[in-house]
Amino acid sequence: MDVQADEAGLRPDPSATAVVEPVTDSQGRLFNDAAPTYADTDKIPAVEVHRRGSRPGSSRLLRVLVVIVALAVLAAGAALGLVKAGVIDKSGTNNPPAAQAPQHHGTAPTKAPLVTQVSTGAGTATYRVDIAAYAVTVITTTGRSWVSIGAAGQRPAFAGILDPNSSQKELLLGPATVDVGAGGTTVTVTSGRRSQTLTPSSAPFSYQFILKN
């Protein structure tokens, strides 16, 4: 009795009915029969992937632009070199520079001496000065010498004894008198870049300087 009861409990109840509603939404289906399957071919579908970035045409255009810019820089450098060399002038014309007219250099006139001897005598000499303003420098050598420098007819600007190897310079305007008392003494007259040195022929000696008429 117990075995039959157990078998009866295991048999399906004919009175019980199961109703399964058809699923129309794809989210509720375990397997989608409408979707393609690749179980028969065992192949993975090829999917085209589009990468972001420059396309081959853009890269080629960029290289062409770089080459054009480089050529323009080289052309500008070459033009600048030609301008500096004088082949091309700054106005843009390619005319060669005009030949300079030949210049004739004449002989420069010889400048007149600063002082010119007018007369000489025993222990004295007179010289004409080419310019009104000038300087007189008296230079001693191995011995002492009495020296007097000043405008003619006026008190000397300097009067005294110079030591050996020394000098005395005075600026003069117009006629002047210079006296030296020992041999070996020189008198130098200077005006601008012109200079002339006189050496007394005896001692003492007196120089008279007058202006050119």
pLDDT tens for each residue of 54-111: 566 677 888 888 888 888 887 887 777 766 665 555 555 555 555 555 554 544 455 7
192 vs 80: which has the higher pLDDT: 192
Q: What is the pLDDT of residue 20?
A: 46
Q: What is the pLDDT of residue 180?
A: 96
Best CA proximity match to 156, nearest among 178, 175, 184: 178
Q: What is the pLDDT of residue 123?
A: 94
The CA-based dihedral angle spanning residues 58, 62, 64, 69, taken in that order and rounded to the nearest 10 degrees:
160
Classify 84 as helix, strand or coil. Answer: helix
Question: To which H or E segment does residue 140 belong?
Answer: none
**How do 124-129 and 205-211 pair as beta strands?**
parallel
Classify 53 as helix, strand or coil. Answer: coil
Contact in structure between 164 and 89 (CB atoms under 8 Å): no
Q: What is the pTM of this model?
A: 0.49
Cα 133 versus chain centre, distance: 44
Q: Which domains does the chain have, with CATH numbers?
A: 115-211 (2.60.120)
Q: What is the pLDDT of residue 196?
A: 95
Torsion angles phi and psi, residue 147, rounded to 5: -135, 135
Residue with tokens 């011995």: 143
